[in-house]
Amino acid sequence: MEVLHVITPLFVSLIVGGTFVGIVFGAIPGMTATMAVAVCLPLTYSLGLENGLALLLGLYVGGISGGLVPAILLGIPGTPSSITTCFDGYPMCQRGDGEKALRIGIISSLVGGLISLAVLYFFAPTLADFAIQFSYVEKFLIILFALTVMAALSSDMLIGIFSGFLGLLVSLIGTYGIESGGNGEIRLIPPGLEYWLESGFALLPVLIGLFGLAAILEEAEIGVPESQSARNVRLGAGTGFSLSVFRGQIGNLIRSSGIGTFVGILPGVGGSAASILSYTATKALSSHPETFGKGEPAGVIASESGNNGLTGGALVPLMSLGIPGDSTTALLIGAFTLQGIQVGPLFIGQNPVTWDAIIVAMLIANLAMFAMMYFAIRYIARVVSVPKPILFPIILMMCVIGAYTINYGIMFDVWSLLIFGLFGWLAQKLRLEIAPFIIGFILGPSAEIYFVKSLESFGDLTIFFTKSWIAVVLWILIAASVAGSVLLARKTRRAREGR
């Protein structure tokens, strides 16, 4: 039980503090769990791996959970993953059942978080053990699969896959590293920038720019709408909350948590897909689907257990394959990189204490989230009225610190933050998908090594199809995700034309 040495008062305080800050970020529309992790990453430089992860996992769980507060009270999703919580939570609040809806959401979040944590604990090591036998060929195909799955679930598959490949290309800027078997030559660097871009763009400024600065630019573009005044937030006396509301909803809870976890495991697919799929499934299976969208508690249960199910699920591919499950877990890679640790199939076996610490941190974060939100919901509800003119400048300043300190004081990293902040804003206007871009950017250098080294070793392109049965299965999955997406797009187009 070496993990007991890690669980210090500081470790627990960081989780609880992280969860609290995460809830605040989640509860303020326009700020997300991803932003919370991005802004607080520099704080982990001096904390060590386990303590740093404790803070970030608290932020992650809190951030995903906090989104339900404005979704229910204001009808505005605090984070994209709580979009379906608005559908029934807000009507419940309007009829005076705000507190009841919040409590239903909080309990569902806890159940979703715990079920996905159990899946993470039992499934990630098994997947990692299996993935250890992967050669470069299979590893390359896994990355290709991750990109096609993300693209398949994008609103436009072509744009989704384009975004992923664009991320790949941007990640290749700089030197083909000798340390990973490359020839040490530079490529793709615009003339005059060789000095600055010799090592390419650093990961953290890119992430902080895309998820911190870009989000604030989007808010500035619409004039930084004022937060709701605390007076406008009414919880309502309503019918009161009792656990009996969950009677007959156990199946919903388990199914939605399961869907959320599964979506989390799919590489790069975010929380909104988790809650939308859980909500749609629950509505489709309901004996009274017409009540959905009008204040049906089952809708809140499905949405919130689904999006919190994501949290453990998204860590599965990260811990077992080194592939982030969503954009927030992509940032966690940053925390590992800071500590000089590479996540991949060998991680759990080689770092059992860190692995146990991650599980314990997730467990404490879920319990802390529940305790804080359930018993202090009336105070948490006021968070939605925190003034943005005070918060946003501080966030901008924290973004600068994160970018500047990552390589111990390189100003170019701060400019990269601005470049990618502007790019993130522009990408949203051009309908480019940021999640595939980021995953492409993170996995690009590995994908290159796996691809080129496979060709160097085998000298034949057919090796990508004939190396092993796993390669064949991965190609089938890649083809299925593309075909599924094409069929879905065609169906959607026909439905639109039919209307």
Provide the binding-site residues for other proteins, judged by CB under 8 A. Answer: 42, 45-46, 156, 158-159, 161-162, 165-166, 168-169, 172, 175-176, 182-183, 185-188, 213, 216-217, 220-224, 226, 387-390, 392-394, 396-398, 400-401, 404-405, 408-409, 411, 414-415, 418, 422, 429, 447-448, 451-452, 455-456, 459-462
Let me know how long the chain is.
Answer: 499
CA separation for the pair 438, 327 (Å, rounded): 7
Pairing of strands 186-187, 174-175: antiparallel
- In angstroms, what CA-CA distances link 22 with 18, 35, 214, 225, 291? 6, 9, 19, 21, 32
Residue with Cβ nearer other proteins (172 or 371): 172
Closest Cα to residue 226, out of 85, 364, 389, 87?
389
Q: What's the DSSP call for residue 467?
A: S
Q: Which is nearer to other proteins, 220 or 250 (CB)?
A: 220
- Give min distance, CB of 377 to other proteins, in A: 25
In the complex, the smallest distance separating the C-beta of residue 363 from other proteins, rounded to whole angstroms, is: 28
Strand partners, 175: 186
Among positive and negative, which fits the CA dihedral 302, 307, 312, 318? positive
Beta carbon nearer to other proteins, 10 or 418 = 418
Is 158 or 193 the residue whose CB approaches other proteins more closely? 158
- Closest approach of Cβ 397 to other proteins, in Å? 5
The token pair that represents 87 in the structure block: 């559908």
- In the complex, the smallest distance separating the C-beta of residue 462 from other proteins, rounded to whole angstroms, is 5
Please say whether the beta carbons of 108 and 305 come within 8 A: yes
Instruction: Choose between 151 and 381: whose C-beta lies nearer to other proteins.
Output: 151
* Shortest separation between residue 147's beta carbon and other proteins, angstroms: 10
Which one-letter DSSP state was computed for residue 382?
G
Q: Nearest distance from residue 46's CB to other proteins, in Å?
A: 4
Close Cβ partners of 149 (under 8 Å, ≥ 6 residues apart): 266, 267, 268, 269, 481
Between 294 and 493, whose beta carbon lies closer to other proteins? 493
Nearest distance from residue 380's CB to other proteins, in Å?
21
* Nearer to other proteins among residue 363 and residue 400 (C-beta): 400
**CB 135, min distance to other proteins, A:** 17
CB 88 within 8 A of CB 294: yes
| Contact (Cβ atoms closer than 8 angstroms) between residue 435 and residue 326 | yes
The answer to whether 90 and 49 are in contact (CB under 8 A) is no
Q: Which two tokens stand for residue 489?
A: 């797009």
Closest distance of CB 116 from other proteins, Å: 33
Of 356, 346, 311, 348, residue with least CA distance to 332: 311
* CB of 52 or CB of 258, closer to other proteins: 52
User: Which residue number, 78 or 444, has a Cβ lying nearer to other proteins?
Assistant: 444
Q: Give the rounded distance of the alpha carbon of 285 from its chain centre.
A: 28
Count of beta carbons in the 10 Å neighbourhood of residue 325: 31
129 versus 460: smaller Cβ distance to other proteins:
460
Q: Which residues pair with 187 in a beta bridge?
A: 174
Q: Which is nearer to other proteins, 42 or 260 (CB)?
A: 42
Q: Tell me the C-alpha distance between 107 and 247, whole Å.
A: 13
User: What does the DSSP assignment read for 295-348?
Assistant: S-HHHHHHHHHHHHHHHHHHHHHHHHHS--SSHHHHHHHHHHHHTT---STTHH
Which of residues 159 and 477 has its CB atom nearest to other proteins in the complex?
159
Neighbours of 202 (CB within 10 A): 19
In 153-279, the DSSP E strands lie at 174-175, 186-187
CB atoms within 10 A of CB 240: 9
Work out how close the CB of 429 gets to other proteins at its nearest, in angstroms, rounded to a whole number: 6
The least CB distance from residue 313 to other proteins, in Å, is 29
Residue 158 Cβ vs other proteins, minimum distance, rounded to whole Å: 5
